[in-house]
A and B are shown apart, each in its own frame.
Chain A
Amino acid sequence: MTNATPARGADRPALIVGLLLLALAGVVYYDASQQTITSNYGLGPTAMPLVACAGLVILGLTHLAVAFRGGLPKPDEADRGALLWIAGGLAGLIGCIALGGGFVIAITILFASTARGFGRRALAVDAAIGFVLGLVIFLVFAKLLTLLLPLGPLERLFL
């Protein structure tokens, strides 16, 4: 099923994945070596990390080997603009929550930029839809489910 067309030289994605897995194994190993309390018999807290570490090392090395034999399936070219809009929307949402801007504004940002990322050109309309959606969700959560979503100046008006 995979399109394993033999590439010339090393397959970069496979190489990167392999190195990242090895790096992760290193982090896990370092963390396990910092554990001070170990048990007398049975499994200590370091056994499972060491198993995970060993698995990651094997998988990392296999990826390095695979990198020179066909590598990973070659994906189509990605639409970077779309990805940036959505990632930006998510970053905007996190920023808005972190700065205390509240749920509704955060959702407005996310909805509008995601819709933009998927190719809509009506940013203002989508922002309005996102705003209403956010407000409705906030009220349903607050009144019906008694779950409080992040508050900002706007949300405090409704409580």
Chain B
Amino acid sequence: MDTLLALMNGFGVALEPSKLLFCLVGVFLGTAVGVLPGIGPALTVALLLPVTFKLDPAGSLIMFAGIYYGGMYGGSTTAILLNAPGESASLATALEGSKMAKAGRGGPALATAAIGSFVAGLIATIGLAFLAPWLVEVAIKFGPWDYFALMILAFVTVSATFGDSPLRGLTSLFLGITLGLVGIDKLTGQARLTFGVPELLNGIEVTTLAVGLFAVGEALYVASKRFRDPEEIIPIKGSLWMSKQDWKRSWAPWLRGTAYGFPIGALPAGGAEVPTFLSYSTEKRLCKYPEEFGKGAIEGVAGPEAANNASAAGTLVPLLTLGLPTSATAAIMLAGFQQYGLNPGPLLFAEKPDLVWGLIASLFIANVMLVILNLPLIGLWVKLLAVPQPWLYAGILVFATMGTMAVNASPVELGMLFLFGYLGYLMRRFDYPVAPMVVGLILGPMAEAQLRRALQISLGDPMILLENPISATLLTIAAIALVAPFVMKGLNRFKAAED
């Protein structure tokens, strides 16, 4: 009951004209960047952070959430029409979607993706609204040791689930943690790893790292392999609307996709790739027309698309209630909260209920806006793909440097942006995931602070971490999650040998 009341209040905030405008801008931008290959929601929010720090916090956060949702919708368009998934979450969609488009069924593929995203987004947002207050109740009882254990778990799962090599994921994470050490130590006031450079005393800006890794790194990477894999847009032929048969074959995958996406997104294991692929393989098994799989089965689009949207709502659960980011976009959104001096967590629900519930309510509105924007206007979005690449990436770099200059126009800061950009390029080139590095930079100092607090309370006894049931459980899960990929790899090798 309280939840409903809070949600109603939230709608009161989210339906203010200025908030609606922010939401519209967000979903519009989100869809656009979702459609454009190579630019994802994480990058877009990172680019907007410096520009928005003087704007209204609630409005900006609503816009960021709109971008996140919009990116999930828009990603399907490129995946289906170009066979070029805009982000890893639409990899599974591309498998069947592009086949459908080639067979002249691009319209229904886009429609089932959009409507499936809508259904999933709606259900998952309801899930978020009801799960969040409950989790807040639990989180209030968390001690610093529990938070520390939770962050360790996030470290492990983020670096082990992103990308396909735990070694490279962990390397990325540790680079982020090391960068997080730079600056003045909060407890003793000593400078760490600053090498006498005054600009480094305040630490490394999350936005500089994120924009460098995502925007500059991506631009360099795309430029470096410009002459390979030319992309061809498959024009939408035939009707956009789904036939009765399509509806009948879509609704169950939508629901199953949601059932995978939301819980997995909400777990600190996070990420959208796992639920999309789980959904894909489930649909493949359950489908009444298994012979169509691989040739363009609509179930293979409906399920994964629902899963990736539901997981986006899922990742907002730990972000809002615990301040724990479990995806790249959530990590950047956390930086967004922090730039307004807001710390997501149980306290935020108590101190700024308007903001939190306004944000949650705006997600419902964003979903409605998105399905309207995506279905009738699909032709418009496809035209976006015609923007010449040189101008597109030149514009992205202009935006990236502009943001940095607006906050701190020192050559040192710009130099760091450049360096991080080159690092991001090299990491992409050798298949290192960049997201764990951003997560490490954000969560590293937080984990350190929580551990210090825990050890001060226990008078320096580290056993406190294992004596509390919650932290002990979380640390055990983290240990399992760390070891599991290596064990699984061993098992896979067995399998490969058997074949």
Chain A contact residues, CB within 8 Å of chain B: 1-2, 13, 17, 21, 24, 27-28, 31-32, 35-39, 41-45, 47-49, 51-52, 55-56, 59, 62-63, 66, 72-73, 75-76, 78-80, 82-83, 85-87, 89-91, 93-94, 97-98, 103, 106-107, 110-112, 114-120, 126, 129-130, 133-134, 137, 141, 145-147, 149-150
Contacts and interface: CB of A to CB of B under 8 A. Distances in A.
A76 B168 CA distance: 19
B399 to A, nearest CB: 9
B319 interface: no
Interface centre among A48, A66, A72 (most CB of B within 10 A): A48
A41 B177 CA distance: 23
B254 interface: no
Contact of B193 (A13, A28, A63): A28
26 contacts: A24-B175, A37-B190, A42-B460, A44-B188, A45-B190, A47-B448, A48-B181, A48-B444, A55-B170, A55-B177, A59-B170, A63-B171, A66-B167, A79-B226, A86-B220, A91-B418, A94-B415, A110-B401, A114-B390, A114-B394, A115-B394, A129-B391, A145-B406, A149-B405, A149-B409, A150-B409
A56 B176 CA distance: 11
B192 A111 contact: no
Interface string B415-449: 10010011001000111000000000000100010
Contacts, number: 192
A143 to B, nearest CB: 13
Number of chain B interface residues as a range: 35 or more
A141 B399 CA distance: 12
A39 B193 contact: no
B494 interface: no
Nearest to B54: A145
A72 B430 CA distance: 6
Contacts of B338: none
A114 to B, nearest CB: 4
B476 interface: no
Interface of B: 51, 54, 164-165, 167-168, 170-171, 174-175, 177-178, 181, 185, 187-190, 192-193, 216, 219-220, 222-228, 388-391, 393-395, 397-398, 401-402, 405-406, 409, 411, 414-415, 418, 421-422, 425, 429-431, 444, 448, 451-452, 455-456, 459-460
A28 B180 CA distance: 12
B418 A35 contact: no
